[in-house]
Amino acid sequence: MASFSSSLALYYKILNNMDIVLGLQWGDEGKGKFIDLISENYDITARFNGGSNAGHSIERNGRKITLKMIPSGIFMKEVQNIIGTGTVLDPVSFKKRS
């Protein structure tokens, strides 16, 4: 079993290799567009909260695409996308979008 200090060191290492984008309003700050622009430089993008009513509008190849429940890095092949436990999934809406 790992000691507290080694667990703390691992936690610190993880935090030092992570960038987090948070919005402090009800949305519309451009978080999705920003993540779409920078996601190619990351291994993982994650959506950690929200529901099917929230979405990110991004532009891809001249088309406006609205993502709901899906992380904005989804169009980058090498990026692993995670839907976190704080995200409310509506199975009917999710199936329509997949």
Q: pLDDT tens, 74-84?
A: 888 899 998 88
pLDDT in tens, 30-58: 777 888 888 888 888 888 877 777 777 78
Report the 10 Å Cβ neighbour count for 55. 17
pTM score over 0.75: no
Cα(41)–Cα(64) distance, integer angstroms:
22
Report the 10 Å Cβ neighbour count for 97. 13
pLDDT of residue 5: 53
**Which residue numbers are catalytic?**
28, 56
- Alpha carbon of residue 69 to chain centroid: 9
Per-residue pLDDT band at 96 (split at 50, 70, 90): confident
Rg of the chain over Cα atoms, rounded to whole angstroms, equals: 16
Cα(9)–Cα(65) distance, integer angstroms:
40
Per-residue b or e along 80-90, where b marks 16 or more CB atoms closer than 10 Å to that residue's CB: ebeeeeebeee
